[in-house]
Amino acid sequence: MHYDLICFSHLRWNFVFQRPQHLLKRFAQTGHRVFYIEEPFFDAPGSPYHEIYTDSDSGVHIVNMHLPATGVNSSVEQQKSLLDSFIDKNEIHDFISWYYSPMAFEFSDHLAAKALVYDCMDELSAFRFAPAKLKQLETALMEKANVVFTGGVSLYEAKKHLHDNIHPFPSSIDKLHFSKARDTRQDPEDQEKIPHPRLGFFGVIDERFDTQLLEALADMRTDYHFILVGPVVKIDPATLPRRENIHYLGGKKYEELPSYLGGWNIAIMPFALNESTAFISPTKTPEFLAGGKPVISTPITDVINPYGNKELVKIASTPTEFIQHADALLVAGFDSEWLNRVDTFMKDLSWDNTWNRMVALVDKAIQKSPITSPSKKQQYV
């Protein structure tokens, strides 16, 4: 089924390669025009304007709205006007609206899309600095949505009563990409001099990351080296624990991650247990496993079930338990039986399969409640 796709997201396309990028690039590579509208920049020297550039790797068109810094209070109307102008100039008629950010619904609720999709990848209202209007706008978005996806099973359980066409889609995996870690022979330059044993993490370091746990682990095993790969956001870098055996390597490109992962002895997921992690389904769980690395995680619901219950991931509730698991894994060494069980479990897990199932549900929603393609004038009513 042919249509364009307009995506509204709170995430910058070039920030971290994750769920939106995996899914939307597949739309772009199968003949759909995909427009990815990021949150606005308040840097316009005069009148508001928008600009578009095309991501060369995926074919997705990135749309940036530039608003005057003095016009924050009128930003909704300004974004609405820019959105209408952008749709008109690009002759977008038959399209679906795809939301990651409920906040964008405030300036786009007037659009007459063939279908409205809400891919609720996280409980954003629980994140630090969440806008006060977010819950209200999410309610309005779900009332109008034709189909809703959630980023994990626990998030689905929390929201399934809010929509009659809602489906869980836990984090998936690009196995071919991360399995490269199993054959890595050369460390990246900034990792090669770090001694073993190495316990590593890659991902965004924010309020979901348990810095106190990391500090305790580093103090309990001063001969273990803890490697953190990823950008630090929403927390003051000065508050991060500093030890000789803690190494912050900063953000890396998606293509580089397997080379870092391949040099670790153990992958760790030291997530804090707070409202921001109550419903997360970490993409790094299958990514670490695809790389062939044993994993230790704090008791995150969507990690316990299924990975912990199937004994594919070690679960640790305290620093002592974390270290006990690490000690045992390092002594035991490579476990071929465990890795066989990992590969069997993840045999059908892929972003291709996730995308295909999502597309089938979107097409079904369009067929169930078709919206006649409106005229340009009707699009903005």
Identify which has the larger pLDDT, 46 or 116. 116
Mean pLDDT of 56-67: 96
Lowest mean pLDDT among 67-81, 135-149, 211-225, 239-253: 67-81
Are the CB atoms for 187 and 107 separated by under 8 Å? no
DSSP letter at 84 equals: H
Mean pLDDT of 199-227: 97
The predicted pLDDT at position 293 comes to 98
pLDDT per position as a tens digit, 325-341? 999 999 999 999 999 99
CA distance 261 to 271: 18
| Residue 301 banded pLDDT, cuts 50, 70, 90 | very high
Are the CB atoms for 304 and 315 separated by under 8 Å? yes
The predicted pLDDT at position 130 comes to 79
- What's the token pair of residue 126? 């629980």
Are the CB atoms for 82 and 47 separated by under 8 Å? no
Which phi and psi (to 5°) does residue 210 adopt?
-90, 90
pLDDT per position as a tens digit, 146-200? 999 999 999 999 999 999 999 999 989 999 999 999 998 899 999 999 999 999 9
Statement: residue 254 has pLDDT above 90: yes
Statement: residue 69 has pLDDT above 90: no
Q: What percent of the chain has pLDDT over 70?
A: 96
Lowest mean pLDDT among 61-70, 71-80, 299-308: 71-80
| Residue 127 banded pLDDT, cuts 50, 70, 90 | confident
If we measure between CA atoms, which residue out of 97, 8, 34, 23 comes closest to residue 365?
97
Q: How many other C-beta atoms lie within 10 A of the C-beta of residue 18? A: 16
Are the CB atoms for 180 and 148 separated by under 8 Å? no
Are the CB atoms for 292 and 179 separated by under 8 Å? yes
Sign of CA dihedral 138, 142, 143, 144: positive
CA distance 7 to 69: 24
The predicted pLDDT at position 72 comes to 64
Coil vs helix vs strand at 378? helix
Q: Can you give the pTM of this predicted structure? A: 0.91
| Residue 70 banded pLDDT, cuts 50, 70, 90 | confident
Lowest mean pLDDT among 71-75, 285-289, 291-295: 71-75
The predicted pLDDT at position 149 comes to 98
The predicted pLDDT at position 71 comes to 63
The predicted pLDDT at position 296 comes to 98
Helix axis angle, 211-220 to 319-332, nearest 10°: 50
The predicted pLDDT at position 95 comes to 97
In sequence order, which ranges of 145-210 are alpha helices (DSSP H)?
A: 153-159, 175-178
The predicted pLDDT at position 379 comes to 41
Angle in degrees, CA 134, 139, 145, rounded to 5: 115
Are the CB atoms for 204 and 283 separated by under 8 Å? no
Statement: residue 73 has pLDDT above 90: no
The mean of the pLDDT values for the chain is 93
Q: Looking at the DSSP assignment, which residues form a beta bridge with residue 267?
A: 200, 295
Q: How many other C-beta atoms lie within 10 A of the C-beta of residue 363? A: 16
- What's the token pair of residue 165? 């066409």
In sequence order, which ranges of 52-131 are alpha helices (DSSP H)?
A: 75-89, 105-108
Coil vs helix vs strand at 220? helix
The predicted pLDDT at position 381 comes to 33
| Residue 210 banded pLDDT, cuts 50, 70, 90 | very high
Which phi and psi (to 5°) does residue 203 adopt?
150, 180
